[in-house]
Amino acid sequence: MHIKELDLTDLNELQKVSTETFYDTFAAQNTEQNMQDYLVNSYKLEKLSAELENKNSFFYFVLNDTNEVMGYLKLNVNDAQSEDDFENALEIERIYIRKAFQKQGLGKILYNIATTRAVQLGKRRIWLGVWEHNQNAKAFYQHLGFDFVGSHIFNMGNDPQTDLIMVKTI
């Protein structure tokens, strides 16, 4: 496997993988209408293009030996972070692994990229939001040493949901 930092040439593949992994992860717990509304708004090409062009956001694919995308990572620093409360921090906004590649340690590999990037940028903390009902993700991040420090609202279509904020000092 190998890691690739994304640029605009990866836009269409990013959209495909983003919508697929988000849908697979959350469709069973949400209405189809809310899922479609979220996917259309959050992963449209114009929005993803702007995110890729933001100098304070970083995207990475983890690919297998045949260059198939197994998962991806999105990181934010400074004004690209989705919350203003975290100075000198790096946000892990997305770690998503395609279903066929889950339970193979890829989440940990992507987390290690986040940690390396945070150190390179001189950040002291890593933070993220995780849906309160995503037990697997909460357990994964707790195992990595993250602590719960608060919450915020995440709008899934017309359904306001609670994301728990987790932080780790590095």
Predicted confidence (pLDDT) per residue in 76-114, tens digit: 999 999 988 788 999 999 999 999 999 999 999 999 999
What is the Cα–Cα distance from 83 to 91, expressed in whole angstroms? 9
Distance between first and last Cα of the chain: 26
Domain spans of the chain, in order of start: 2-128
Homologous superfamily in CATH for domain 2-128: Gcn5-related N-acetyltransferase (GNAT) (3.40.630.30)
What is the Cα–Cα distance from 72 to 94, expressed in whole angstroms? 8
The whole-model pTM stands at 0.94
pLDDT of residue 152: 93
pLDDT of residue 122: 97
Whether residue 141 lies in the annotated active site: yes
Give the number of C-alpha atoms closer than 13 A to the C-alpha of residue 157, restricted to the C-beta side. 15
What is the Cα–Cα distance from 112 to 120, expressed in whole angstroms? 12
| Burial letters 12-37, b for 16+ CB under 10 A, else e | eebbebbbbbbbebbeeebeeebbeb
What is the Cα–Cα distance from 96 to 106, expressed in whole angstroms? 9
Query: Catalytic: which of 43, 72, 111, 141?
Result: 141
Mean pLDDT for the stretch of residues 43-59: 97
pLDDT of residue 83: 86
